[in-house]
C-alpha cells in the first residue's frame, strides 16, 4: 500500500567525512532499504549523504527539521560508533542524548545500533544516559566492555559485531606495502611520532609507506607532518598520502597492504578483515578492546622504548590466523528489522 513503508531516522556522526562512520552508515542504510524501510539520515552534509546513498537527509544542527522528521518516523536508530561517551566531547554526548530524548518524547521506538558505550565521566551525563537507555526498544553494543558497563547500569543489551565487518571488500592483493593511519589527538606527541617514524624506516626501509587520512579535516595535516618525519629519518623512503576522498578508494588501497599500523578503530578493523598484519596505536579504549580481541600488538602514545618489541610482534603475526578469526564476521540485521516492523 502507498505510504505504508516504515520510516527510520538515523542519528550518528554522519556527514563529517569520517571513514568509519560513513562505512557504518553505508551498511546500515543499504540493509534498511533492502527491507523496504524509508531512510532519513541526520547529517552534517545532507546533500552529499542524499546523493551518495539515495536517501532523505536533514542537517545535523537543524533542530526544528530533526523534530519534524522524528515525529513522522517509526523508529530512531542511534549509532553505530561510539556516540555515548564524553572522552571526545561532552557536547556531542548531550547532542546524541537529546536526539534520543526527542524520539522517546514522541513515543517512537529507539534502537541503539552497535555502539561502544562510554566512558561517561560526567555524572549528569551518566544519569541521563541511564535514564534514556532503559527506555529504548533494543540496545546493541559492539564490545564486551560496553555490554558489562550497561549490565552494571541495569540495562539489557545484546553484543553484536561491528557493522563494518559486513562491508563489501574486493579480494586483497598483497603488494608488500606498509600502511600507517594517524588521527590528531591531544596526547599524541611529536616525540612519539618521530620515534614511530624512526622505527618504521628501520624495520621497513625497503617498503613503500602509505599514510592514511581517514578524516581529512582532522588528520590530513598530521599525515603531512608524519611524512616529513619519515623523510628526516630516511630521505630515500617512498611515501604516499591517501586522502579520505571515498570509502571505495580507501578500501582498495588498504587491500594492497602487508602491514598496518593504525590509530583509528575502523582502520584496524578493515586491516584485520583483510588478514593484514596489524598493530594498534591506542588513543581510546575501543582500540584497546579490538587489539585484545584479536591478539595484535597495541602501543599507547608514550611507550617509545617498547616500539621495537611491538614491531617484532607485528612481523610475527600470522595472516592465516587473523583471517580464520575474522572470516564470516558480519552484522545480523534480522532482529533490527524485526523490531522496526513489529
For 298-326, how does the pLDDT look when each residue is reduced to its tens digit (9 = 90+)?
999 998 999 999 999 999 999 999 999 99
Residue 176 pLDDT level (bands cut at 50, 70, 90): very high
pLDDT value of position 1: 40
Residues 25-50 pLDDT 10s? 999 999 999 999 999 999 999 999 99
331 contacts 160 by C-beta, under 8 angstroms:
yes
What is the overall mean pLDDT for the chain?
95
In angstroms, the first-to-last Cα distance of the chain is 17
Domains of the chain: 7-160 (3.40.50.2000), 177-326 (3.40.50.2000)
Largest CA distance in the chain: 66
The answer to whether 211 and 227 are in contact (CB under 8 A) is: yes
Q: Kindly give, in sequence order, each residue whose CB lies less than 8 Å from that of residue 204, ignoring residues fewer than 6 positions away.
A: 178, 259
Rounded CA gap, 190 and 212, in Å? Answer: 18
pLDDT at 245: 84
Measured distance CA(160)–CA(78) in Å, rounded? 15
Percentage with pLDDT > 90 across the chain: 89
Give the model's confidence band at 213: pLDDT under 50 very low, under 70 low, under 90 confident, else very high.
Answer: very high
pLDDT of 255 > 70? The answer is yes
How far apart, in whole angstroms, are the C-alpha atoms of residue 265 and residue 286? 7
Output the pLDDT for position 282.
Answer: 95
Backbone angles phi, psi at 278, to 5 degrees: -125, 140
Mean pLDDT value of segment 131-141 = 98
- Rounded mean pLDDT, 225-241: 97
Q: What confidence category does residue 223 fall into, taking pLDDT thresholds of 50, 70 and 90?
A: very high
pLDDT tens-digit series, residues 76-109: 999 988 899 998 889 999 999 999 999 999 999 9
- Residue 284 has a pLDDT of 86
Average pLDDT over residues 264-273: 96
| Global confidence as pTM | 0.90
Label residue 2 by pLDDT band (50, 70, 90). very low
Amino acid at each position: 500500500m502507498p505510504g505504508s513503508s516504515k520510516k527510520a531516522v538515523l542519528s550518528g556522526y554522519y556527514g563529517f567525512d569520517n571513514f568509519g562512520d560513513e562505512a557504518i552508515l553505508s551498511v546500515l542504510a543499504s540493509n534498511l532499504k533492502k527491507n523496504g524501510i524509508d531512510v532519513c539520515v541526520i547529517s552534517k552534509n545532507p546533500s552529499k549523504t542524499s546523493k551518495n546513498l539515495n536517501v532523505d537527509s536533514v542537517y545535523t544542527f537543524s533542530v526544528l527539521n530533526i523534530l519534524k522528521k522524528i515525529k513522522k518516523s517509526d523508529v530512531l536508530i542511534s549509532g553505530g560508533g561510539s556516540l555515548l561517551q564524553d572522552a571526545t566531547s561532552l557536547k556531542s554526548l548531550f547532542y546524541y542524548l537529546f536526539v534520543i530524548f526527542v524520539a522517546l518524547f514522541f513515543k517512537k521506538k529507539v534502537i541503539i545500533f552497535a555502539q561502544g558505550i562510554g566512558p561517561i565521566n560526567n555524572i549528569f551525563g551518566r544519569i541521563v544516559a541511564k535514564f534514556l537507555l532503559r527506555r529504548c526498544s533494543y540496545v546493541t553494543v559492539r564490545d564486551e566492555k560496553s555490554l558489562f558497563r550497561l549490565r552494571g547500569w541495569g540495562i539489557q543489551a545484546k553484543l553484536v559485531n561491528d557493522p563494518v565487518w559486513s562491508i563489501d571488500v574486493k579480494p586483497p592483493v598483497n603488494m608488500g606495502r606498509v600502511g600507517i593511519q594517524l588521527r590528531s589527538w591531544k596526547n599524541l606527541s611529536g616525540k612519539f611520532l618521530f620515534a614511530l617514524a624512526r622505527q618504521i624506516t628501520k624495520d621497513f626501509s625497503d617498503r613503500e609507506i602509505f599514510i592514511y587520512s581517514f578524516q581529512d579535516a582532522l588528520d590530513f595535516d598530521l599525515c603531512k607532518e608524519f611524512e616529513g618525519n619519515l623523510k628526516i629519518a630516511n630521505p630515500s623512503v617512498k611515501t604516499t598520502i591517501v586522502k579520505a576522498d571515498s570509502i571505495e578508494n580507501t578500501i582498495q588501497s588498504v587491500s594492497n597492504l602487508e602491514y598496518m599500523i593504525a590509530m583509528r578503530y575502523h582502520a584496524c578493523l578493515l586491516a584485520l578483515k583483510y588478514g593484514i598484519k596489524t598493530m594498534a596505536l591506542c588513543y581510546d579504549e575501543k582500540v584497546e578492546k579490538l587489539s585484545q580481541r584479536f591478539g595484535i600488538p597495541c602501543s599507547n602514545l608514550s611507550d617509545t622504548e617498547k616500539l621495537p618489541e611491538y614491531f617484532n610482534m607485528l612481523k610475527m603475526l600470522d595472516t592465516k590466523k587473523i583471517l580464520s578469526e575474522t572470516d564470516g564476521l558480519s552484522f545480523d540485521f534480522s532482529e533490527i528489522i524485526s523490531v522496526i516492523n513489529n
